[in-house]
Amino acid sequence: MLVYPEPPEESTCVLLFVPVELVPIIGAQLGQLEQRHKWATVEDWQQGYRAFVDLQAQLMSNCIATLIQEIRDLRGLKTAYASVPIEDRTSDMYRSIDDVAEKINTLIFYIGGGAEHGDNIMEILRGTEEATEERNLLEMLE
Amino acid sequence: MALAARTMLARLWFRDNDGAESNCDVNLPAATDLDSALSFLASWRVMVATLSSATCFEVELFIRYVDSTPMTPAMGSSVLRHGVFIFGSEPSDMAIVRVPSIAPALLESSGPFAGIAIDLAAADVIAAVAALASGLAGVEPCDPFAIDLGDLVTAYKEQL
């Protein structure tokens, strides 16, 4: 019979890629560990039951797809593909991370008061300086 | 669909020193009132304990009814295919309810979990989930540890 293991002081997890077609079979196998007789004590059973039901719920979270979409959102969609439905978009329709990093560096440069512009935007935002010329940050990112 | 009372079943669970388990079943007349059945079970447990070298660790009392209407299960039905409904908001309160042979028509037909995820927008699913989460006939179901089921998290098909 199983004794629920003592978790480490620092919570640690492993990431497992489960092909979606195996979800019904793996879920059923995990479900076997909900049964009282698998566990040494009621306390072990209660912890084990909760943990294995949670694992079954995670099988349906499609977390990798969510993670990929979060990364794509961070990269930003190329304007040429704005009309393509999300489910039909491919990785090359999004800006590269290098492009994004370059834009961010440019933005930081200007916010800090770039050499070509005397303004220190942080000071302008704080209200301690007046802007000397109009800037469109979105244009800088194009 | 007509339900007819069957005998009650008094079940004692025993465990041996290898951890293996087995049960002792005794039928009681269907008309036995609940208090009498529970009294029998409590006394019977003590009595059987003197006959067995294993330990009785759990007792169960089943009140049973059987559908007396002849029926033919639908083609393609399989009790090895469950609909799994998972409830709770935190890992510490998650609970599960299974429905044998979930109807294929209730599974999503498109998306990443096509043929696996249960369609939560189906009217019959909505009604069943509401009954489990909010109660039915004045009774609110709970998990094995007597905690309310809470809200549905996800539902899918499992295959034994």
pLDDT tens, B106-145? 999 998 899 999 999 999 999 999 999 999 999 999 999 9
- Yes or no: say if B64 and B5 are a contact pair by the CB < 8 Å rule: yes
* Alpha carbons B134 and B144: distance in angstroms, whole number: 17
ipTM of predicted assembly, 2 dp: 0.81
Residues A10-56 have pLDDT tens digits of 888 888 889 999 999 999 999 999 998 889 889 999 999 999 999 99
Residues of B in contact with A49 (CB under 8 A): 95, 144-145
- The distance of B49 to chain A (nearest Cα, Å) reads 19
Distances (CA, A) of B86 to A27, A57, B68, B132: 12, 7, 32, 11
DSSP state of A129: S
Q: In 3-state terms, what secondary structure has residue B96?
A: strand
Q: Rounded to an integer, what is the distance from CA B60 to the centroid of its chain?
A: 13
Q: Does A31 touch chain B (CB under 8 A)?
A: yes
Q: What is the pLDDT of residue A61?
A: 85
Q: Which residue has the higher pLDDT, B63 or B1?
A: B63
Residues of A in contact with B154 (CB under 8 A): 57, 60-61
Q: In 3-state terms, what secondary structure has residue B28?
A: strand
By CA distance, what is A29's nearest residue in B? B160
Residues A91-125 have pLDDT tens digits of 899 988 777 777 776 766 666 556 555 556 666 66
Q: What is the pLDDT of residue A43?
A: 93
CB-CB under 8 Å, A23 with B145: no
- Domain layout of chain A by residue ranges: 1-61, 96-141
Q: Which residues is B4 bridged to in the sheet?
A: B66
- Yes or no: say if A47 and A53 are a contact pair by the CB < 8 Å rule: no
The answer for residues whose C-beta is within 8 angstroms of residue B133's C-beta and 6 or more apart is B87, B149, B150, B151, B152
Residue A4 sits at φ, ψ, to 5 deg, of -65, 125
* Alpha carbons A84 and A118: distance in angstroms, whole number: 41
- Residue A88 has which token pair? 């039909």
CB-CB under 8 Å, B96 with A31: yes
- Domain layout of chain B by residue ranges: 3-67, 81-159
